[in-house]
A and B are shown apart, each in its own frame.
Chain A
């Protein structure tokens, strides 16, 4: 079964400093991986996705993630945090076979706080 593990439930950074949100995945084959963001009282917005093309994926708002098969990781980074980045971030893997094809499996989420 596929799964994702977000290694930190809460990350706090200062504005202007780098952001690193960690995610490890478990899959028996090359997965499709996503990062979604959820701002308070809002829906989920896709930040970026990896679907077996380039291993370094660039997303919206300056975020990027690198797929590392050897480490089974898909960490999300941003060089410089902005106050508006404060939100909850979800690492997601998509079911890729069988009757559940297409369904998303979410990590527990990482809450990012940005201090002025």
Chain B
């Protein structure tokens, strides 16, 4: 158990809908990262937050957004969902923004029908 929690574990929804994925980092970790794992693209970085502020963006679509709250948990919002958004979404956390090991949560499996 990495100490990173993600909810829900599974999410099934329809095209055009909006969903929110939640992540709680390890105790004491200030940095949160979101990754998407799909068959087509593999594992790729989406976005990073540090202590409530966005620090870096990767291959994140405009339909997707995220935020990190004062209690350091983070949410990833996916809107106008398409079939191709079906994937496993991982959250990871680390103590600092550029440093050291990232610990991954168990992931949220999103299925868009």
Q: Give me the interface of A with B, judged by CB distance under 8 Å.
A: 34, 36, 42-46, 49, 51, 90, 96, 99-109
Contacts and interface: CB of A to CB of B under 8 A. Distances in A.
Main secondary structure of the interface of A (DSSP, over half): mixed
Contact of A102 (B2, B43, B56): B56
Given A43-B90, A43-B107, A44-B104, A103 B2 contact: no
B28 interface: no
B2 A45 contact: yes
Contacts of B48: 102-103
A42 B106 contact: yes
Interface string B61-84: 000000000000000000000000
B72 to A, nearest CB: 16
Contact of B58 (A43, A103, A107): A103
Contact of A106 (B2, B42, B106): B42
Interface in B26-51: 31, 33, 35, 42-45, 48
A98 to B, nearest CB: 9
B101 A49 contact: yes
15 contacts: A34-B101, A42-B106, A43-B2, A44-B90, A46-B101, A46-B102, A51-B100, A99-B56, A101-B55, A102-B48, A102-B102, A103-B58, A104-B35, A106-B43, A109-B43
